[in-house]
């Protein structure tokens, strides 16, 4: 292994710091070329569904060097250091807080560059060369000095193919989960047609609870075996299935907070700041005070109420209040009337929706395993400690 300096290894470095449509004599439009901003780069991909657009005329003026498929997007600030690959040869505009990077053929493979940017070695360099007190940012003059650990070009391509195979399988599973959930939503939309809001409320047909936080000043309450969820655990999910939490508490911590240990299959809904992010915990889990938790006597009712709640988030937000941030109280939630069909209709819906959610949850669980494998292989391959041939065998067995 050796090192490449970015300034010597790039064929193109696209940097539009300070450029905005208005500064260039125009504005955003409803249709046209999509603008990639730093906020759209997350989880190693670009969320183009949220992208704003500019006219074709503005695109030609803005993008004198057009992007190509597999160019690397690197956020320069707010946040610093996130990366993604351009998905195709479409017309994209790079915003003012992202760089576009393209490796020189025969010197630096762009997909290899994408993965190398995720290593702690390169991330530490980005942070070390950044400036700013409130928001860290890196200038082009410092970015080009960043060193990339590299093998020869053909070896780079092989490493990128190995890690890319895992990401492709993860993307397939994401599509499976997304389609399965969309189908379950469609089944619910059909089942709820002409079902009126009756006398039943969320509070009358289900157990509605909340949570709390053990004292952080008591070490004995923390680092135990009990999963304890915060809203960030749920808002970070790509699909509504919670397999683990960032923090765990002890039995003593559970005894000294306002949460009970909720069973798997409960419905978690964030109820403050971000109202209406959902998850089915896949194992018994406690929660902090940022949740409303719904527990039902049977899976069929839980499945119905999960979709009923997701379908009425806007209504719930309208009932929230607060000066610092909006919060939906349990009292207001419990009083909301529920559209509840006959038991036979609920059973029929659950018979269709439950297998779809099971399939989505299985795909999501497999992704967690694949992502862990990718993140384990990444530094080993980049450092040369793991041979490509050995990594290929591991990945073949996984996908």
pLDDT score for 19: 83
Residues 163, 110 share a domain: no
Q: CA 144 from chain center: how many Å? A: 29
Higher model confidence: residue 21 or residue 94? 94
Q: Which pair of structure tokens corresponds to residue 80? A: 């610093």
pLDDT of 273 over the 90 cut: no
Between CA 106 and CA 281 the distance in angstroms is 48
Percent of the chain with pLDDT strictly greater than 70 = 100
Residues 6+ apart with CB under 8 A from 112: 103, 150, 156, 157, 159, 160
pLDDT score for 213: 98
Closest CA to 326 of 314, 334, 337: 314
pLDDT score for 148: 96
pLDDT of 1 over the 80 cut: no
Percent of the chain with pLDDT strictly greater than 90 = 91
Residues 368, 276 share a domain: no
Residues 162, 136 share a domain: no
pLDDT score for 399: 83
Q: Are 146 and 129 in contact (CB under 8 A)?
A: yes
Residues 299, 234 share a domain: yes
Between CA 252 and CA 224 the distance in angstroms is 9
Q: What is the pLDDT of residues 185-232, one digit of tens each?
A: 999 999 999 999 999 999 999 999 999 999 999 999 999 999 999 999
Q: Last residue of a domain, which of 150, 180, 207?
A: 150
Residues 191, 140 share a domain: no
pLDDT score for 33: 95
pLDDT score for 174: 95
Between CA 345 and CA 347 the distance in angstroms is 5
Residues 268, 396 share a domain: no
- Least confident window among 20-34, 102-116, 281-295, 339-353: 20-34
Residues 141, 76 share a domain: yes
pLDDT of 313 over the 90 cut: yes
Q: What is the CATH number of the domain that holds 34?
A: 3.90.220.20
Cα 237 to Cα 186, 311, 327, 341, 364: the distances in Å are 21, 18, 21, 30, 10
Q: Work out how many domains the chain is built from and give that number.
A: 3
Residues 365, 309 share a domain: no
pLDDT of 322 over the 90 cut: no
User: Span 142-149, mean pLDDT?
Assistant: 96
Q: How confident is the model at residue 21 (pLDDT cuts 50, 70, 90)?
A: confident
pLDDT score for 134: 83
Q: What is the pLDDT of residues 100-110, one digit of tens each?
A: 999 999 999 99
pLDDT score for 175: 95
Mean pLDDT of the chain: 95
SS3 sequence, the chain? Answer: CEEEEHHHHEEEEEECCCCCCHHHCCCCECCCEEEECHHHEECCEECHHHCEEECHHHHHHHCCCCCCCCCEEEEEECCEEEEEECCCCCCEEECCCEEEEEECCCCCCHHHHHHHCCCHHHHHHHHHCCECCCCCECCHHHHCCCEEEECCHHHHHHHHHHHHHHHHHHHHHHHHHHHHHHHHHHHHHHHCCCCCEEEEEHHHHCEEECCCCCCCCCHHHEEEEEEEECHHHHHCCCCCEECCCCEEECHHHHHCCCCCCECCCCEEEEEECEEEEEEEECCCEEECCCEEEEECCCHHHHHHHHHHHHHCHHHHHHCCECCCCCECCHHHHHCCEEECCCHHHHHHHHHHHHHHHHHHHHHHHHHHHHHHHHHHHHHHHHHCCCCHHHHHHHHHHHC
Cα 316 to Cα 89, 277, 312: the distances in Å are 42, 12, 6
Which residue range forms the structural domain that includes residue 393? 152-195+341-399
Q: Are 207 and 295 in contact (CB under 8 A)?
A: yes
Q: How confident is the model at residue 20 (pLDDT cuts 50, 70, 90)?
A: confident
Residues 158, 73 share a domain: no
Residues 11, 142 share a domain: yes
Q: How confident is the model at residue 372 (pLDDT cuts 50, 70, 90)?
A: very high
pLDDT score for 23: 86
Residues 317, 200 share a domain: yes
Residues 137, 11 share a domain: yes
């Amino acid at each position: 292994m050796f090192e490449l300096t970015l300034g010597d290894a790039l064929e193109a470095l696209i940097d539009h710091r300070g450029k905005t449509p208005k500064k260039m004599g125009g504005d955003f439009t409803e249709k046209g070329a999509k603008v990639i901003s730093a906020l759209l780069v997350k989880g190693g991909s670009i969320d183009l569904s949220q992208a704003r657009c500019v006219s074709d005329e503005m695109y030609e003026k803005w993008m004198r060097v057009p992007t190509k498929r597999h160019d690397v997007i690197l956020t320069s600030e707010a946040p610093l250091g996130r990366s993604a690959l351009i998905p195709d040869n479409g017309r994209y505009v790079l915003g003012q807080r992202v760089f576009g990077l393209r490796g020189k053929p025969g010197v630096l493979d762009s997909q290899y560059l994408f993965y190398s940017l995720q290593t702690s070695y390169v991330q530490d360099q980005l942070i070390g060369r950044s400036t700013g007190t409130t928001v860290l940012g890196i200038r082009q003059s410092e970015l080009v000095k960043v060193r990339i650990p590299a093998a020869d070009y053909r070896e780079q391509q092989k490493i990128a193919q190995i890690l890319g195979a895992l990401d492709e399988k993860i993307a397939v599973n994401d599509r499976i989960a997304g389609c399965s959930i969309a189908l379950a939503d469609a089944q619910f939309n059909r089942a709820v047609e002409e079902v009126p809001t009756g006398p039943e409320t969320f509070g009358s047909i289900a157990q509605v609870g909340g949570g709390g936080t053990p004292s952080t000043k008591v070490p004995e309450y923390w680092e135990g075996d009990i999963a304890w969820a915060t809203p960030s655990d749920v808002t970070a999910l790509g699909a509504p299935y919670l397999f683990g939490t960032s923090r765990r508490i002890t039995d003593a911590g559970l005894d000294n907070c306002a949460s009970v240990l909720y069973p798997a299959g409960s419905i978690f809904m964030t109820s403050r700041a971000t109202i209406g992010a959902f998850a089915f915990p896949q194992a018994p889990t406690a929660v902090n005070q940022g949740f409303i938790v719904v527990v039902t006597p049977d899976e069929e009712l839980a499945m119905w109420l999960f979709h009923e709640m997701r379908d009425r988030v806007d209504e719930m937000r309208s009932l929230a209040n607060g000066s610092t941030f909006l919060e939906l109280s349990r009292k207001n939630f419990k009083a909301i009337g529920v559209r509840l069909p006959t038991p036979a209709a609920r059973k029929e819906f659950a018979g269709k929706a439950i297998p779809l959610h099971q399939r989505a949850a299985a795909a999501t669980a497999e992704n967690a395993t694949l992502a862990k494998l990718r993140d384990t292989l990444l530094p080993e391959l980049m450092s040369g400690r793991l041979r490509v041939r050995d990594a290929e065998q591991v990945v073949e067995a996984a996908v």
